[in-house]
Amino acid sequence: MTYLHQATDTTPRPAAAGETTTIAPGGTPPMYTLTAVTKTYQQKKRTVTALAGVDLVIPAGQMVAIQGPTGGGKSTLLQMLGALDRPTSGTVRLGDSELSAAGDHALAAARAREIGFVFQGFNLIPTLTAAENVETAFADGSTPRAERREKARAALASVGLAERADHLPSELSGGQQQRVAIARALVKEPSVLLADEPTGSLDEATRDEIVGLLEGVWRDRGLTVVIVTHDSAVARRAQRRLRIAGGELTELGPGA
């Protein structure tokens, strides 16, 4: 499946014969459907419950913030959405494919095709330039080199870093490094952008700049965006706010 450029298309279309009514008007299933998702970790003899039965539907094109205390389950939930891990029980659907039942190969393929990640620590390779870091998104080698280079430069330009393409991460500010990471997350035009504390290492002014950039990306590209943050100033910019504590998810309502 691909949601590319469909997220903002709400044109109704006639239902096909035999089509189930779980499909929203506009013709696309929700981006995510999580049902009774649990995740437990075994630590020696102790069982740690990171997710305690999470039900969640995220429509395509929504911008969601997830808040909550340290250890509350935010990163674990993001790993489920990001096809980085499978739940202990329950189901995770991305569009019409069930990630919780997929094998490693299918999970990796879903990640590569549908999902861009941004992390608190930027996760750039220090010995590669900004452009080379963005190009690492094409790790599977199926994209010709010239096209990779061209797309990497365009992605950097789209985050305002055209002039810094040949700089190493150490030659860039924290905010610029996060912009490179965002370019890397977007260069393959994913359906979903997942960000785990993307402003957690930045000062306030830079934080606002990065959140503004993510918001612009969301608005312009019709992506589904999920941002984990414990910063309310960041969360207030989202369409929808959730909180997770003790592995339990609650709805906080729209940003306000």
The residue among 4 and 84 lying less far from ligand ADP, judged by its C-beta, is: 84
Nearest to 58 by CA among 214, 223, 246: 223
Least distance CB 130 / ligand ADP (angstroms): 28
**Binding partner at 71 among ligand ADP, Mg ion, none, C-beta below 5 to 8 Å by kind:** ligand ADP
Q: Which amino acid is at 114?
A: E
First to last CA, the chain: 34
What burial class does residue 142 get, using C-beta atoms within 10 Å of its C-beta: 0-12 exposed, 13-18 middle, 19+ buried?
exposed
Least distance CB 73 / ligand ADP (angstroms): 5
Phi, psi dihedral angles at 59 (to 5 degrees): -65, 150
Residues of this chain that interact with ligand ADP (CB under 6 A) are 41, 43, 48, 50, 68, 70-76
Total Cβ atoms within 10 A of residue 242? 23
The residue among 11 and 42 lying less far from ligand ADP, judged by its C-beta, is: 42
How far apart are the C-alpha atoms of 39 and 61, rounded to whole Å? 26
- Which residue has the CB atom at the shortest distance from Mg ion? 75
How far apart are the C-alpha atoms of 60 and 68, rounded to whole Å? 23
Confirm or reject binding of residue 75 to Mg ion (CB under 5 A): yes
Least distance CB 70 / ligand ADP (angstroms): 4
Least distance CB 78 / Mg ion (angstroms): 8
The residue among 115 and 172 lying less far from Mg ion, judged by its C-beta, is: 115
Binding site for Mg ion (CB under 5 A): 74-75
